[in-house]
Structure 1
Amino acid sequence: MATPVLTRHALRKSTLPKSVQCLSLNQTRQLASDSKIFKIQPQVREALETKSKPVVALETTIYTHGFPYPENVALASELESIVRVNGGVPATIGILEGVARVGLDPEEIIRLVSTAGSKDTLKISRRDIGYACGLGLAGKRLNGGTTIAGTMVLAHLAGIKVFATGGLGGVHRGAESSMDISADLTELGRTPVAVISSGCKSFLDIPRTLEYLETEGALVGTFADGRDGSVEFPAFWSRDSGVKSPVTIQNEVEAAAIIHAQSILGLTSGIHFANPIPAEFSISKAEMDVIIAQAIEEANAAGASGKDNTPFILSKIKELSGSKSIKANRALIAANVKRGTLVAKELLALELAAQQESGTQSTDYTINVAFEPPASSKSTNTPIAAIPKPDIASTESIVVAGALAIDYSCDYIPSTTSSNIPQLHTSNPASITQTLGGVAHNIARAAHLLTTTHSPSLRVHLLSAVGPDLAGRAAVAQLAASGMEVAGIQTLTNTISSSTIAIPDANKQGQQQELHTSQYMAINDSKKDLHLAMADMSILESANSTSSFSKTWLPSILSLPSPRAMVIDANWPAPTLHEWLHAARKLPNRPLVAFEPVSVAKAARLFPPLNRSAITGHGRWEQPPPSKEIGLPVYPLNILDLITPNQHELRALHSAARANGYFELPFWWTVVNAFGLGLNAKGRFSAQVPGDLIEEGVPQMAVQLLPFVGAVVVTLGKRGCLVVRILDGGEERDERVGSYLVSGGGLYMRFFPAAEAVGEEDVVSVNGIGDTFLGALVAGMTSGSGMGKGERKRRNVEDVIDFAQRAAVRSLKSKEAVSPELVEMGREM
């Protein structure tokens, strides 16, 4: 019987299950049975399946064969952060322990790139994928960095259409006799992936390279990058090569349209978009021609040919250029990754528009792999992608999750002869006021007041819980009357076991308590400084389980407009706190994620004990299953974007991280060491930070938290605050930024004196100033002009510190925890 012909149209219409859809029927059968050798990172898979974010492929040969360890770790982190900052999902691709991986977690990246320089670490092109994965099945776990060709193959299998890298391989000089032609060119002729690079290195034969790509049917276009008319094809370190580009591409919109058209038409060839190196890092063609001629001459003299030729020439170019080539190399890679992310974003917009017009799930002819997650990562929780999202096109949101409470402020009134501190074991005269408060409420209230008039499309949503009592009903009514969103306030009616909260009396363990609205009582001295506080936030302890979070809070998150920022306070128990953090990281468009430590005792919840047995004798971090007691996955780099502890909370965070094993994780030392502080850290800090803070260890502790947090803002009361952060990968290091760098590793440190001096007679209440400060920071970083819907760019934290300090002063002078006068400050954003 004749074998039926399977056309593209028939394949697209086939009823193959999603878990085994692939490029062809044969490949489908093979990958369905051999899925042990091909894995897609869950975050990448979700973005591809739901089309919630653009995905950009990144190669790994640059890390395994281009940069030494640990510089390659820093570069990998930088490039992934560029993708995220510009609204995309990075898919770093490589072979790890015999498995082809599309998307690597931070720990997996470290495990792979730490093998750089080892003779056992492979350079994986198309021909090597089957070899490496096959030996993996046979028990020999090989590691390898994927070249452009290898990355294209695996990216296409996963359904990724945009790939950003450094430089394209090409036809070598003298290839007419050596036949030395890069497999990258052949791959561009048969794999429909758009590769964005800075052209070919100029020691290659660029005219023949372009001729070869034409023969292969691969389109080559060069971004105009602000230039008029036709432009030259770039030569990696130089913007021009002397060879005219086949076509000129004006912008990312045109590039995306070309990719989309090829996809709709079912063309199976790739595209190369050449992105010239940024002008300020370009080395002139004349200078590079002299360097390259000498490098080639020395390579010929040394007999460096075949696979040894390129590494030899690159080493000589680095030497002869005085390392200018390395600086140029890093700059062009960063520029290409940013350009690639913007192209991917425009492509996704086109695909979504086409999908909406046709009313179908996809208009693509290419069928791609969509593997089910491994059994160990499956969850009974409702997946984020499965919950329908409302169609609220006109708004975005700031989400604040944590405590809503009734606040009592007790200000001590001393007699003329007594101390300004209230006396113990007796009654003290005081002025007592009752207001609506709670850390999360105050943060949300501050952000609401600042944005309500001048950013009406940005809505602030408070997610919290109240009890079925009069206080709870009054709190919700007051919030609604003030114009704040109340849909995220849950009224919890069940009881809570006292065993879930820290009650030291053994006789009370296991008792059931009726839930009631949270209460907070602050006892202040005569100067209005906090002397003692008592807090009952036990209602939030009722969410102390994964199932409770999934049923109660996850639907609330997903019902909200696209969040620009998400703030979580430490009133949640540790398991629930980390559920919030995990959910925040998975939201579309990667919102700013901030954490408010609340108190010394609760700050430590950010760093609960780790499973030390998961750290092997080789110093390698093996990911254990999430603990039922903690609910904590292994920390990725920068799980948070921002924390705002005071000095005492900073010390508590640092102590918890150190005591519970976080500073023993291999990547922690890698990141801290990459700052290049050396033995004279104190000396480097002294140029930016007052000496007393250095002696107290404030900047030192902040720096040691940076592997987990993008920016640490330490609030110092009347002294001001200290900002310590890592520069984003795509951030320009101009004079304004550069003057506050304390190392070449991108460590930014800046002390801000108090924005305004406040006399004791002007202080009315200190209860909400820290919360106001954080609410103003988040509002200032994520709202204002040029921050419209879909725009992911946000201000740097240091740009809004003075604004946030002045907002805090308004609350300091107000009888309310958050000053109503913040409405007037909104126009400044």
Structure 2
Amino acid sequence: MTSDQLIRLTQSSGKENTLKLSRRDLAYACGMRLTGKKFSGGTTIAGTMLLAHLAGIKVFATGGLGGVHRGAESSMDISADLTELGRTPVAVISSGCKSFLDVPRTLEYLETQGVGVATFADGREGKVDFPGFWSRDSGVISPLTISDEKAAAAIIHAQFSFPIHSGLLLANPIPEAVSIPKAEMDSVIKKAIKEAYDAGATGKDNTPFVLAKIKELTGGKSIPANRALIENNVKRGTMVAKELRRLEFAEAIEGGPHVDRVYPAMTVASQANTSAGPQTSDAVPSVSPGNENIPEMQSPVDILVAGALAIDFSCDFTPLPGRPSTSPILHTSNPARITQTLGGVGHNVAKALNLLGSSVRLCSAVGDDLSGKAALAQLRTEGLDTSSIQTLPSSGSRTAQYIAINTTTKDLHLGMADMSILETPHTDFDSTYLPLLAQANPTHLVLDANWDPVTLHAWLRAARTLRIPVAFEPVSAAKSTRLFSPPPANSQSAFPTFPNNLVNLITPNTHELHALHAHAQQSGLLSQTPWWNLINSLNIPSTGARAAFSAIAGAELVDKGVPQMSVQLLPFCPTVLVKLGAEGVLLTMLLPSSSALLRDPEAQRWVVSRNDGGGGEQGVGGVYMRLFPVPETIAQEDVVSVNGVGDTFLGAVVAGLVAGREVEDVLGVAQRAAGLTLRSAEAVSPRLRELRGEI
């Protein structure tokens, strides 16, 4: 939830339109919204379990479970949390049930519902008590005991591998330092229950009344205890989810029989706001036999950058006095100022992300040579993680190198790149790079086109399977077409169109855009039925949209076909950022029918087409196109190097997306980041740190 939503929810406490939402209440609250009556609410465990399951979330951490109330043999007062556990496959981590409930009957009811119940031992030997919420013990032995988070994850993984639709209850005792002794709590609870009975507080009013009385009778000690146990449960739930994620990836890598879809294991705290349900996706590529050793788990990161790491040589032409030429002369030696830095597209993007404060890891390869050793040493100096850099035998692999020959105005005149270490499949993707993707567990993946087509498309398939958004840097006109060049054995079905997408965001310059479009056209990708269906849904007039495109991008770009080609690539990549140098950046974006931009009055001038019919099965709402001029003009004498400018731009864009910003809102700061690199002798300007607050 956003800060505004959290404030709005807390301020709604005690009001008539604030509801306690269990399974039974969700339809009422949502249905009444359609009649103009809106509610706020907090979800019970039952309500949260249902929503978590719809979102594909398997681990849910909360405070205390509802249960069978004392005297339920007469009142039939039994929490819906228990029946939800019996029919919804979510693992709930709580500090048992609140101890003013009937704990033995609660456990009996859960057994009847087929719910597995286990308690974390926390270092204790033998049988342990099911926890009593504020107290570590309840006087009732737990049905099962588990030692740690790995054991818990293994149980969850096994449970959800069977065709069983019930959940699990994993009881996590309150930390000993804040636990209230059982004898003391028994006395308090006895008094609180009596006062609730005398006051006639029954049904849904019973629990809030009893909790308020317990707070009063303990002199407020129940509040810090309650807070501590919730924090403890969320920490434990997060560690369980991490271990579950590892097991799921391990099974996917080893080709286990039960994996046809891999969901991210996540934790959700009570009253959380969850997202839409899971999407179907491609299967993870099968793995070569013998891959038994999964590398030791590294800490997850927000962004994994998979691409080139190279030694860069920048050769700036410096003509002799009296020579008017701005470009070096071919077929002869030219005077130049030559500098050497660590570069490569993947490295530059990762460095930019790191400087901007993002959690990032670079995945690449170097040779076992002097350049490779120097590159790894420099990476450590820059503060970048080297755990996902493969060192390949020097006999068949050379560390990548790039030579840029620039004009006197620092524009690229000629580039020479030896990226064979990534362009030749030296290693098996499934046994080498797929485990690294599993370990990193990123929310975003950045790929550059230096990979050979086989490996590039293996990265793309794995990302689609794991539902990881992909940003693609085309690198060059020649290499950009690898995006549309699957291995010969693959059919054109290897190119999913919206809403599944081939990639999520792409950053070509005009040369790369032309190459991508031409290759897609020549390959027949722009004549397939799914492509036509989506393009037709955009309602672009048969005469084209020249007037609308010209009003936004200018007639010159329209004459070059830049807006038109961008739109035609949207089915494969819904966000296209064309880098135009001194003219800025052209954003062309496919909007889903739910996009707020379609209803924002300020954004209407940039919505060049719309589908007012709801977008059909694909949910397409329209096309958003906007030209972002450069925020500042940099004098020619201030330009130091153009190398790494585009990589810096991409890094800043992804940093903003990971921070939760919309792409149109982050492009201004991304352009300024590129401007800092333009003034820097390094491939990525160290001054990017200055922009952290704006990202």
Going from structure 1 to structure 2, the CA distance change for 1:357 and 1:568 (only over 3 Å counts) comes to closer
The Cα of 1:431 is off from its aligned counterpart by 0.4
The question of whether the paired residues in 1 share the 8 Å contact of 2:513 and 2:565 is answered with: yes
> Which secondary structure state, in structure 2, belongs to the residue aligned with residue 639 of structure 1?
coil
Q: How far apart are the structure 1 equivalents of 2:645 and 2:42?
A: 49
Q: How far apart are the structure 1 equivalents of 2:653 and 2:521?
A: 28
Which residue of structure 2 lines up, in the alignment, with residue 569 of structure 1? Answer: 448
Q: Are 1:646 and 2:438 matched, yes or no? A: no
Q: Which amino acid aligns with 2:85?
A: I
Q: Deviations over 1:237-263 (max 9, x none)?
A: 6346xxxx9x99644866224686434
Which residue of structure 1 lines up, in the alignment, with residue 330 of structure 2? Answer: 424
The Cα of 1:693 is off from its aligned counterpart by 0.5
* Seq. identity, %: 43
Decide which of 497, 522, 533 is 2:404's aligned counterpart. 522
Q: Are 1:635 and 2:496 matched, yes or no? A: yes
The question of whether the paired residues in 2 share the 8 Å contact of 1:764 and 1:813 is answered with: yes
> Which secondary structure state, in structure 2, belongs to the residue aligned with residue 739 of structure 1?
helix
Q: How far apart are the structure 2 equivalents of 1:780 and 1:665?
A: 34
Q: Are 1:381 and 2:284 matched, yes or no? A: no
The gaps in structure 1 that reach 5 residues or longer are: 1-217, 226-232, 269-351, 452-457, 496-513, 610-625, 784-793
Going from structure 1 to structure 2, the CA distance change for 1:466 and 1:539 (only over 3 Å counts) comes to same
Going from structure 1 to structure 2, the CA distance change for 1:428 and 1:650 (only over 3 Å counts) comes to same
> Which secondary structure state, in structure 2, belongs to the residue aligned with residue 635 of structure 1?
coil
Kindly report which structure 2 residues correspond to 1:33-52, keeping only aligned pairs within 5 A, or say none.
none
Going from structure 1 to structure 2, the CA distance change for 1:418 and 1:629 (only over 3 Å counts) comes to farther
Which residue of structure 2 lines up, in the alignment, with residue 578 of structure 1? Answer: 457
Aligned alpha-carbon RMSD (Å): 3.5
Q: How far apart are the structure 2 equivalents of 1:755 and 1:707?
A: 30
Q: Which amino acid aligns with 1:766?
A: V
Decide which of 820, 823, 829 is 2:686's aligned counterpart. 820
Q: How far apart are the structure 1 equivalents of 2:570 and 2:363?
A: 28
Q: How far apart are the structure 2 equivalents of 1:737 and 1:413?
A: 47
The Cα of 1:418 is off from its aligned counterpart by 3.0
Which residue of structure 2 lines up, in the alignment, with residue 596 of structure 1? Answer: 473
Kindly report which structure 2 residues correspond to 1:174-253, keeping only aligned pairs within 5 A, or say none.
219=24, 221-222=26-27, 224=29, 234=32, 238-239=35-36, 250-251=42-43
Going from structure 1 to structure 2, the CA distance change for 1:481 and 1:256 (only over 3 Å counts) comes to same
Which residue of structure 2 lines up, in the alignment, with residue 187 of structure 1? Answer: none
Going from structure 1 to structure 2, the CA distance change for 1:580 and 1:770 (only over 3 Å counts) comes to same
The question of whether the paired residues in 1 share the 8 Å contact of 2:369 and 2:394 is answered with: no
The question of whether the paired residues in 1 share the 8 Å contact of 2:294 and 2:435 is answered with: no
Q: Are 1:719 and 2:568 matched, yes or no? A: no
Equivalent pairs, count: 458
Could you list the runs of 4 or more consecutive aligned residues of structure 1 that deviate by over 6 angstroms after TM superposition? 352-355, 362-366, 369-374, 385-393, 629-632
The Cα of 1:719 is off from its aligned counterpart by 0.7
Q: Are 1:439 and 2:321 matched, yes or no? A: no
Q: How far apart are the structure 2 equivalents of 1:471 and 1:707?
A: 41
The question of whether the paired residues in 2 share the 8 Å contact of 1:249 and 1:255 is answered with: no
Q: Which amino acid aligns with 1:465?
A: A
Going from structure 1 to structure 2, the CA distance change for 1:539 and 1:660 (only over 3 Å counts) comes to same
Which residue of structure 2 lines up, in the alignment, with residue 777 of structure 1? Answer: 653
Which residue of structure 2 lines up, in the alignment, with residue 555 of structure 1? Answer: 435
> Which secondary structure state, in structure 2, belongs to the residue aligned with residue 754 of structure 1?
coil
Q: Deviations over 1:403-427 (max 9, x none)?
A: 1111000000123233111111111
Which residue of structure 2 lines up, in the alignment, with residue 478 of structure 1? Answer: 378
Q: Which amino acid aligns with 1:653?
A: L
Q: How far apart are the structure 2 equivalents of 1:223 and 1:517?
A: 63
Q: How far apart are the structure 2 equivalents of 1:221 and 1:564?
A: 30
Kindly report which structure 2 residues correspond to 1:269-308, keeping only aligned pairs within 5 A, or say none.
none
Q: Which amino acid aligns with 2:652?
A: A
Which residue of structure 2 lines up, in the alignment, with residue 113 of structure 1? Answer: none
The Cα of 1:470 is off from its aligned counterpart by 0.6
Q: Which amino acid aligns with 1:407?
A: D
Q: How far apart are the structure 1 equivalents of 2:557 and 2:402?
A: 31
The Cα of 1:377 is off from its aligned counterpart by 7.2
Q: How far apart are the structure 2 equivalents of 1:756 and 1:253?
A: 53
The Cα of 1:639 is off from its aligned counterpart by 1.8
Q: Deviations over 1:659-714 (max 9, x none)?
A: 01111211101111111111241112122111111111000000000000020000
The gaps in structure 2 that reach 5 residues or longer are: 1-22, 52-80, 90-147, 167-256, 262-281, 612-621
The question of whether the paired residues in 2 share the 8 Å contact of 1:677 and 1:684 is answered with: no
The Cα of 1:739 is off from its aligned counterpart by 2.9
Going from structure 1 to structure 2, the CA distance change for 1:518 and 1:377 (only over 3 Å counts) comes to closer
> Which secondary structure state, in structure 2, belongs to the residue aligned with residue 801 of structure 1?
helix
Which residue of structure 2 lines up, in the alignment, with residue 409 of structure 1? Answer: 314
How does the TM-score come out when normalised to structure 2?
A: 0.60
Which residue of structure 1 lines up, in the alignment, with residue 369 of structure 2? Answer: 469
Kindly report which structure 2 residues correspond to 1:89-238, keeping only aligned pairs within 5 A, or say none.
219=24, 221-222=26-27, 224=29, 234=32, 238=35
Going from structure 1 to structure 2, the CA distance change for 1:424 and 1:248 (only over 3 Å counts) comes to closer
Kindly report which structure 2 residues correspond to 1:538-549, keeping only aligned pairs within 5 A, or say none.
538-543=420-425, 548-549=428-429
Decide which of 517, 522, 525 is 1:659's aligned counterpart. 522
The Cα of 1:354 is off from its aligned counterpart by 13
Q: Are 1:763 and 2:663 matched, yes or no? A: no
The Cα of 1:782 is off from its aligned counterpart by 0.7
Q: Are 1:732 and 2:596 matched, yes or no? A: yes
Q: Which amino acid aligns with 2:47?
A: A
Going from structure 1 to structure 2, the CA distance change for 1:434 and 1:248 (only over 3 Å counts) comes to closer
Which residue of structure 2 lines up, in the alignment, with residue 534 of structure 1? Answer: 416
Which residue of structure 2 lines up, in the alignment, with residue 135 of structure 1? Answer: none
The question of whether the paired residues in 1 share the 8 Å contact of 2:497 and 2:530 is answered with: no
Q: Which amino acid aligns with 1:414?
A: P
Which residue of structure 2 lines up, in the alignment, with residue 684 of structure 1? Answer: 548
How does the TM-score come out when normalised to structure 1?
A: 0.51
Going from structure 1 to structure 2, the CA distance change for 1:714 and 1:417 (only over 3 Å counts) comes to same
The question of whether the paired residues in 2 share the 8 Å contact of 1:781 and 1:796 is answered with: yes
> Which secondary structure state, in structure 2, belongs to the residue aligned with residue 520 of structure 1?
strand
Q: How far apart are the structure 2 equivalents of 1:538 and 1:463?
A: 16
The Cα of 1:740 is off from its aligned counterpart by 1.2
